[in-house]
Amino acid sequence: MQTILVTGGTGFIGSHTVLELVNSGFQVVVMDNLSNSKTASLLRVEELTGKKIPFHKVDLLDTQSLDKLFTDYDLDGVIHFAGLKAVGESVEKPLYYYKNNISGTVNLCEIMSKHGVKNIVFSSSATVYGDPEINPIPETAPVTAVNPYGRTKLTIEYILKELYESDHSWNVALLRYFNPVGAHESGLIGEDPTGTPNNLMPFVTQVAVGKLEKLRVFGSDYTTHDGTGVRDYIHVIDLAIGHIKALEKLNTNPGIVTYNLGTGKGSSVLDVITAFEKANDINIPYTIVDRRPGDAAVCYADPSKANKELNWAANRDLQTMCRDAWNWQTKNPKGYE
What distance, in Å, lies between the first and last C-alpha atoms of the chain? 34
At a CB cut-off of 8 Å and minimum separation 6, what does 287 contact?
A: 214, 215, 216, 217
298 touches 265 (CB < 8 A) = no
**Where on the chain is the footprint of ligand NAD (CB under 6 A)?**
8, 10-14, 32-37, 59-61, 81-85, 100, 104, 123, 125, 177, 180
- Helix runs in the chain, H state only: 12-23, 40-49, 63-72, 87-92, 94-97, 104-114, 148-166, 200-208, 236-250, 269-280, 304-309, 318-331
Measure the CA–CA gap between 263 and 233, rounded to whole angstroms: 7
Active-site residue 149, yes or no? yes
Taking residues 207 to 246 in sequence order and writing x for each that binds ligand UD1 by CB under 6 A, - otherwise, the string is --------xxxx----------x-x---------------
Q: Does 269 bind ligand UD1 (CB under 6 A)?
A: yes
Name the binder of 170 from ligand NAD, ligand UD1, none, CB < 5-8 A by kind. Answer: none
Name the binder of 231 from ligand UD1, ligand NAD, none, CB < 5-8 A by kind. Answer: ligand UD1
Spatial CA neighbour of 46 closest among 29, 22, 13 = 22
Name 259's bridge partners.
175
Residue 59 or 277 with smaller CB distance to ligand NAD: 59
Residue 26 or 149 with smaller CB distance to ligand NAD: 149
Residue 172 or 217 with smaller CB distance to ligand UD1: 217
Residue 167 or 295 with smaller CB distance to ligand NAD: 295
Question: Per the residue annotation, which of 97, 129, 149, 233 is the catalytic one?
Answer: 149
Binding site for ligand UD1 (CB under 6 A): 87, 125-127, 149, 177, 179, 198-200, 203, 215-218, 229, 231, 269, 292, 295
